[in-house]
Amino acid sequence: MNNRHLFLQHVAQTSGAPVGLEIVRASGSYLYDVDDQPYLDLIGGISVCNIGHAHPKVVAAIQQQAASYLHIMVYGELIQSPQVQFAKMLTEHLPDTLDCVYFTNSGSEATEGALKLARRVTQRIKIIGSIDSYHGHTLGALSVMGSEYWRNAYRPLMPGVEHYKYNSQEFIDAVDHQTACVIIETIQAEAGVLVPNLAWLQQLRAKCTQLGVLLIFDEIQCGFGRTGTLWGWQHFGIVPDILLLGKALGGGMPMGAFIAAKSLMHEFTYNPVLGHLTTFGGHPVCCAAGMAAFKVLIEEDLVNQVAAKAALFVQLLQHERIVAVRHQGLLMAIELESDVAVQTTLRKCLEKGVFSDWFLFAPHCIRLAPPLVITEEEIRKACAILLDSLD
């Protein structure tokens, strides 16, 4: 019985038509199947593999930590060097108001923790999110997700959540004295890469500050250099009260985090004690891998290479069937005339050795989120195949 049959039989399926490639290894910007066929990876594990696949420094860090110790105690009880050093390193690259890290196992769990923290700190119920936002699939994260298509089958969900259009005045007007928090993606990814209006974001920040509402920025997809700055909010100069991280955080290992001021995070310590708890969050191997990946990102100056690489993509992606190319750095959406056109193009790309994807709330757009280490030669190859597939 082959692995494909076993995959379909014993691994829970999340769609009726999985891609079904059997990958046996990955390196840099490439995936390799059982026949050693290479596929140029243009989605990087959905913005996870920012420094490429199997970076030797990350692999070495994993091996070294695994040889020392794996899990030893629930998060937050024992001093574990990888957790401490990674938290320190992250906060050294953040404002003073984001100085305390709570590590989780995923971005969804980071969302859950941040929502709990906001309600605990403010003693309020109301939460405002945006239409076509994505924050994860656990129950609380699903409640703030901005799509009824995905929410409807699981109602009743968490009460007190309202959704308004991103970049709208209606969104800002809804923020009031009953609001615990506002949660938005700094750049709306699954909607097809929508960038906030600076004046709108400034107005939102000001109103949240005025009313004591916590502003949560979800940078799970757009953090770690993806947009051309280390953090997406740096494009706008607006600092959140709580920052959500995931995806690239673990260097390929499963990891998330929510980060806030120590004074806010302290609310989890008492009344009740263990106000938020995780067994495996901040796993030492994940922290070691994440720290190694973060060091590579900084030391190899990958963030400052993003703008030029994105510009090359935009320059080359010229075709009569391309309606628009929207991007913030190397988070890119290629809009076509329909979702059918997208699926057809993706299949043709795969046949020619290029692996890409689409967006949940913008199925008429092809997703590009390649490893930041992608080379100019690889970009030219990818675009040539994309254009040929459109033909």
Are residues 225 and 122 part of one domain? yes
Do 168 and 124 share a structural domain?
yes
In angstroms, the CA 182 to CA 168 distance is 14
What pLDDT does 284 receive? 97
Number of domains in the chain: 2
Domain end (from 299, 319, 349): 299
Mean pLDDT by 10 residues, the chain (391 residues): 83 84 95 97 97 98 98 92 98 98 98 98 98 96 95 94 98 98 97 97 98 98 98 97 98 98 95 92 97 98 98 98 98 98 97 97 97 98 98 91
Scanning the structure block, which residue is given the tokens 């405002």? 128
Q: Look at residues 173, 306, 177 and name the one whose alpha carbon lies nearest to residue 232.
A: 306
Same domain for 103 and 248: yes
83 and 226 co-located in one domain: yes
Hey, what are 391's tokens? 């033909």
CA-based nearest residue to 27, from 17, 35, 39, 15: 39
Q: Are residues 232 and 343 in the same domain?
A: no
The domain of 265 spans: 57-299
Q: With respect to residue 173, please indicate whether it lies within any of the assigned structural domains.
A: yes
The CA distances from residue 294 to 57, 238, 281, in Å, are: 11, 23, 18
Asked if residue 130 and residue 46 are part of one domain, the reply reads: no
Query: In the listed set 254, 282, 299, which residue is the last one of a domain according to the structure?
Result: 299
pLDDT in tens, 50-85: 999 999 999 999 999 999 999 999 888 899 999 999
What is the structure's pLDDT at 1?
66
Q: Domain check: are 99 and 231 in the same one?
A: yes
192 and 332 assigned to the same domain: no
Looking at the chain, the whole-number percentage of residues with pLDDT higher than 70 is 100
> What would the DSSP string read from start to end of 69-114?
-S--SSTTSS--HHHHHHHHHHHHTS-TT--EEEEESSHHHHHHHH
Q: Chain-centre distance of CA 381, in angstroms?
A: 26
Please report the pLDDT score of residue 372 as a whole number: 98
Q: What is the pLDDT of residues 156-201, one digit of tens each?
A: 999 999 999 999 999 999 999 999 999 999 999 999 999 999 999 9
